[in-house]
Amino acid sequence: MTFTLTLRRPLGWLVASLLLSSPVLAQVPAKPRTPAPAPAQATSPDARYRSGKTLLDQGKYAEALKLLEPLAQPKARFDRAADAAYLSAVAAARLKQWPEAEQLLNLLRTEYPTYPNLPDALLLQGQASFEQEDYDTALKTLALMPADKLTPEREALKATYLPRIKDRNTWLRLLRRSSDDATLARAYADHLIAGGAYTEADRPVLDELIAKFSLDRARYTPRPRATKKSSYNVAVLLPFELNDPSWQTQRKNQFVTDLYAGLRLAQDSLQRAGRQLQLFAYDTGADTLTLKQVLAQPELAGMDLLIGPVYKSGARLLARYARDHQIVCVNPLSEDGDLVLDNPWHYLFGPSSATQGRVAAQFALNAFGSGRPGILLHEKTKDETAFANAYRATYEAQGGKIGVLRSLDSDVDVSLSAAFAGLDLANASHVVVASDNRRVGPYTLNVLQQQPAGKRPPLICPGSWLDNPRISIGQLNGQGIYFVQPKYYDEQAPGFRRFRQLYLQYQHIPPSIYANQGFEMLLYFGSALFQFGPAFQAGLAGVGPVPGAIFEGQSYTGGAHDNQVVPIVKLNNLELQVLR
């Protein structure tokens, strides 16, 4: 049979992660209309300073930092050294080099204490401390700001970062040391109630905060804990777009149909095991307006689990709904770790780009050592940038060194060639290329193959290169090519062969990767419902990796909200071999 659907109708600089885009923090003069002079021609301090400001305006942060940082040092005796120090810190922060940014801001405060834009510097230093999870220092630094300066920005900064605290003792220590901080108090109350961390032991502290800061007692009254049930209801919110029967839409949405078919097959498997689980499909359409109409339906608030959406435009909308109604929501396809950063009711089914970067870096340290520097190239997209930042941070935190870090736009010939120009491949421990663009794989392999085999560094690249028709499988069968492949599965494994047999029986076509994901996702999270109940966050945090029926496994150990299992594979005699 084929599956049918049962449908239910339907701050200046300081905005979350965009904190560094506000003119309040930057205090950078208006953008010059003329292009920046070449650094080599900027010989005088004033010329280097002007060039550095222009490069900063143009988003060339590494080049700006290289010009401005020397001017900030006292020995430079530059009359605008304080401005150079602040702008250097801004550049370092844009590069997410938070320790360097903090050092520059400490230099500014120590050497130039009368700097007129000191409140901006303190605000940025507070963010640098927050990014390094040094919450005590962050709050102390922000407390140094004048009460009448940048108050909305300061409180928004705290409201953005404080929800990331997971440890109860850290919360209580901060509350003792900053007992009059209303934003901190509200963030902890939200952590207890909306975050699901509340226990009866927290009642005295919560009652005290409600009374002292006049918090809404109705909002911060703990809800009764959800108990285990014999049957669960799961809402599937996907863009089926059934109102548009055109073949173009049906073809575009085939992945949605496949994903849902996998979910239905998992439901069938759970029911055969005696676990009653009902699926309710909601057509969210292709825009957020339809999704909002679906979320307005009262019955949705009674669901035990939410699955969806697949488009980024609706992801945060559904995440907020999940948090407000305390229903776990699983995003089936996204790799954006920011979606689940501050929301204990939101999970990614797969590993985030940042988690993939961390795991790949740990593999590289074990496989190649840290004696020679690595080379890291990545697309300018958000996911690839997150991968690269996590890779570099992990690799260098454990003693390695990334000698070259470059971003590229592989659709632009000049950018692609510039990224690979002048690389010292012979002395590199390895090369990492984070790009799914089909032009990058052939280009990378061509560059590497120009090196003598004995001096050719190992390559770490995305698993999507294995499906690139522009690359022959023989090219990828080299001994030194490794793939980050979060969706790896063994087609000969008994679990997949059984799933494929059942899928063919019901759908009469082989399963796609989306069908595989739908099946594995509901099998795992559906089982979690029966094992731990609807609020299964603590349960998942306390168990180790669970082998998958199709994929390598799932793990949310330690409170992670994206899958921590990231297979690293290589081709060996034209067959994929899992190395991690």
533: alpha, beta or left, given left = phi > 0 and alpha = psi -120 to 50?
Answer: left
Q: For residue 467, give the DSSP letter.
A: G
Out of 453, 484, 515, a domain closes at 484
Question: Is residue 567 in a domain?
Answer: no
Query: What is the dihedral sign for C-alpha 359, 364, 370, 375?
Result: negative
- pLDDT score of 346: 95
Question: Is residue 249 in a domain?
Answer: yes
CB of 385 closer than 8 Å to CB of 378:
yes
Question: Is residue 434 in a domain?
Answer: yes
- Give me the numbers of helices (H) and strands (E) for the chain, helices first please: 22, 12
* Same domain as 367, residue 434: yes
> pLDDT tens for residues 114-133?
999 999 999 999 999 999 99
Question: Is residue 292 in a domain?
Answer: yes
Instruction: Provide the CATH number for the domain around residue 294.
Output: 3.40.50.2300
CA atoms within 13 Å, Cβ hemisphere of 319:
24
* Same domain as 288, residue 421: no
> What are 256's two structure tokens?
């949605």
Q: For residue 482, give the DSSP letter.
A: E
* Same domain as 369, residue 480: yes
Q: Is the pLDDT of residue 39 over 90?
A: no
- pLDDT score of 395: 92
> pLDDT tens for residues 257-307?
999 999 999 999 999 999 999 999 999 988 889 999 999 999 999 999 999
Residue type, 185: A
φ, ψ of residue 194 in degrees (nearest 5)? -70, -30
Closest by CA position to 348, among listed 557, 559, 565, 563 = 563
- pLDDT score of 41: 44
* Same domain as 460, residue 341: no
Question: Is residue 338 in a domain?
Answer: yes
Q: Is the pLDDT of residue 184 over 80?
A: yes
* Same domain as 329, residue 309: yes
**Collapsing DSSP states into helix, strand and coil, what is residue 492?**
coil
pLDDT band at 12 (very low <50, low <70, confident <90, very high): very low
> What are 167's two structure tokens?
């440890």
Average pLDDT, rounded, for the chain: 89
* Same domain as 26, residue 139: yes
> pLDDT tens for residues 495-528?
999 999 999 999 999 999 999 999 999 999 999 9
Q: Is the pLDDT of residue 18 over 50?
A: no
Closest by CA position to 24, among listed 151, 114, 131, 160 = 151
Least confident of 217-221, 290-294, 480-484, 557-561: 217-221
Q: Which residues pair with 346 in a beta bridge?
A: 329
Q: Is the pLDDT of residue 574 over 90?
A: no
Range of 453's domain? 353-484
- pLDDT score of 342: 77
> pLDDT tens for residues 298-313?
999 999 999 999 888 8
Question: Is residue 451 in a domain?
Answer: yes
The DSSP string of 13-58 is T-SGGGGGG-HHHH-PPPPPSSPPPPGGG--SHHHHHHHHHHHHHT
C-alpha 168: how far from its chain's center? 24
* Same domain as 216, residue 233: no
**Collapsing DSSP states into helix, strand and coil, what is residue 546?**
strand
- pLDDT score of 538: 83
Out of 424, 450, 484, a domain closes at 484
Q: What is the C-alpha separation between 162 and 249, in angstroms, rounded?
A: 43
> What are 343's two structure tokens?
């929301």
* Same domain as 477, residue 467: yes
pLDDT above 90 as % of the chain: 72
Burial of 4 (0-12, 13-18, 19+ CB in 10 A): exposed
* Same domain as 135, residue 30: yes
Out of 432, 451, 484, a domain closes at 484
508: alpha, beta or left, given left = phi > 0 and alpha = psi -120 to 50?
Answer: left
pLDDT band at 218 (very low <50, low <70, confident <90, very high): confident
Identify the top-confidence range among 239-243, 419-423, 470-474. 419-423
* Same domain as 138, residue 22: yes
CA atoms within 13 Å, Cβ hemisphere of 473:
7
* Same domain as 399, residue 279: no
Question: Is residue 570 in a domain?
Answer: no
Average pLDDT score over residue span 338-344: 87
The number of domains in the chain is 4
The DSSP string of 232-292 is EEEEEEE---TT---HHHHHHTHHHHHHHHHHHHHHHHHHHTT-EEEEEEEE-TTSHHHHH
- pLDDT score of 225: 66
Q: What is the CA radius of gyration of the chain?
A: 26
Q: Are strands 568-572 and 329-331 parallel, antiparallel or unpaired?
A: unpaired
* Same domain as 23, residue 130: yes
CB of 330 closer than 8 Å to CB of 323:
no
Q: What is the C-alpha separation between 425 and 518, in angstroms, rounded?
A: 41
- 10 Å Cβ neighbour count for 140? 14
Average pLDDT score over residue span 377-396: 93
pLDDT band at 30 (very low <50, low <70, confident <90, very high): very low
Q: Is the pLDDT of residue 14 over 80?
A: no
Average pLDDT score over residue span 540-544: 88
Question: Is residue 543 in a domain?
Answer: yes
